[in-house]
Structure 1
Amino acid sequence: MTRARALGAAAATSAGAVLLSGCSGAVEVSVPGGADVDACADPAWPRTVSGLEPRETSAGSPAVAAWGDPAVVARCGVAAIPPTEVECIEVDGAGWVPEALSDGTRFVSFGRDPAVEVLVPSEYDPAPLLLPGFTAVADALPSNGLDCR
């Protein structure tokens, strides 16, 4: 199993929606259920992510984007994380809850409903260094009154 497929399989298990392609072609990824909110209609995705160029996705929706190979995948409109005892980190003023996957890390914005999900393959560790590019998208989503504090 390629690293991209392993990350995709783990994410599909935990996030229920993402399957990454191998080295070429479109990144196979589904559109999250909350992608119909205004902020996900035209998210301010970064042009590049840590120097990684954009990739085509199978989603056909502006709420989904990918960069690099293996792909860093971002989805706008995933289910919000409820108040939790798990780690919450703050990057550029946005809260993120990390979840270790078999071959990378899943980050979900905290305090937003719906939320942004960013899947970062382990090749790009330390993964939180890629999150600043997604702050604008997270900040555009409606606040649910929760924060990392």
Structure 2
Amino acid sequence: MRFHRRALLIAVSAVAGLSAAAVYAFRPASDERVAVPVPGARAAAYCAALHAQLPAKLDGLSEHDLKPVSDLTAGWGDPLIVLRCGVPRPAVDADPQTVAVEVNGVTWSYEQVTNGGVRMTTTLRKAYVEVLLPPKYAHDTGPLVDLAKPVEHTIPEGV
């Protein structure tokens, strides 16, 4: 009987741990901490210009303060939509079968993440911009529509 309880506790702990990991993939910890990318100087300059033009509302969602404060990150809404600028080129971009979508002149690669949300990353730009959309917004292009003009105006096309 003890073996079964121990096995059950291990199984419950494993499920809880995986659930927490899946949530963390999209929702930063309660203090709204986000990993800040470390781009080169040129990409960082593009990202600073982008940050200055980001909308206060994204698809009607209010902006969130993230920690640490950075020109390379931004967030909106609850559940939180997170933008990170200056991320490395995503591995999925090397696959010619990768799903991509063009929204108002900006092309984004699409990557499903473990919790049902999506990671959208700009392609063919001098700096890569990643947007993490939680499951609630995974099929909504509104955030990408609102980001298209700022990305197009501040991050030139090219690789």
* Cα deviation, residue 79, structure 1: 1.5
Superposition map of 1:1-149 within 5 A: 6-9=22-25, 20-22=28-30, 26-34=31-39, 36=41, 37-43=44-50, 44-81=53-90, 82-85=93-96, 86-103=98-115, 104-139=117-152, 140-144=154-158
Give the structure 2 partner of residue 14 of structure 1: none
Q: How many residues were matched structurally? A: 133
TM-score, scaled to structure 1: 0.76
SS of the residue 2:61 aligns to:
coil
Separation of aligned partners in 2, 1:83 and 1:73: 23
5+ residue gaps, structure 2: 1-15
* Cα deviation, residue 4, structure 1: 8.9
Separation of aligned partners in 2, 1:112 and 1:100: 21
Aligned identity (percent) is 29
Q: 1:62 to 1:4 in 2, by over 3 A?
A: farther
* Cα deviation, residue 6, structure 1: 2.7
Q: 1:126 to 1:56 in 2, by over 3 A?
A: same
Contact 1:35 1:78 (8 Å CA) reproduced: no
Contact 1:57 1:65 (8 Å CA) reproduced: yes
Range that drifts further, 81-90 or 105-114: 81-90
5+ residue gaps, structure 1: 12-18
Give every structure 1 segment of 4 or more consecutive aligned residues whose post-TM-superposition deviation is greater than 6 Å.
none
Q: 1:33 to 1:53 in 2, by over 3 A?
A: same
Contact 2:127 2:155 (8 Å CA) reproduced: yes
TM-score, scaled to structure 2: 0.72
